């Protein structure tokens, strides 16, 4: 019984680690427009594999002010986009 519990725990840890790594996939993009008041950014981006979305231009929400401050029109960036509370959101930028 203990071996089954250990195996289950190990599998859960491995799955959560893999899911975390998957969520951290950076995508290349170009900032087309920043709307700081509305906390939104328009990006021309490559395929978002984690969201099964082809390359396109689209608007994302940006919840974190520190992330929003890194976004300047015309800048080439790498970013992480995730579905948060039903919205597509930029969660990280480098």
pLDDT digits (tens, 9 = 90+) for 78-94: 999 999 999 999 999 99
Taking only the tens place, the pLDDT of each residue in 41-63 is 999 999 999 999 999 999 999 99
- The pTM of this model reads 0.75
| Angstrom distance (rounded) from CA 87 to CA 83 | 5
Choice between 23 and 92, residue whose per-residue pLDDT is larger: 92
The full set of domains in the chain, from first to last, is: 26-93 (2.40.50.320)
Q: Please name which of 26, 18, 44, 30 lies closest in space to residue 81, comparing C-alpha atoms.
A: 26
| CA separation for the pair 71, 55 (Å, rounded) | 19
SS3 state of residue 35: strand
Higher-pLDDT residue of 23, 44: 44
Neighbours of 21 (CB within 10 A): 9
């Amino acid at each position: 019984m203990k071996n089954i519990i250990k195996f289950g725990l190990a599998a859960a840890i491995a799955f959560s680690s893999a899911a975390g790594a998957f969520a951290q996939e950076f995508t290349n993009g170009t900032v087309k427009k920043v709307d700081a008041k509305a906390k939104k950014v328009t990006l021309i981006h490559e395929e978002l594999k984690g969201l099964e979305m082809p390359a396109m231009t689209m608007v994302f929400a940006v919840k974190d002010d520190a992330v929003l401050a890194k976004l300047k029109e015309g800048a080439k960036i790498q970013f992480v986009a995730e579905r948060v509370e039903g919205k597509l959101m930029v969660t990280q930028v480098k």
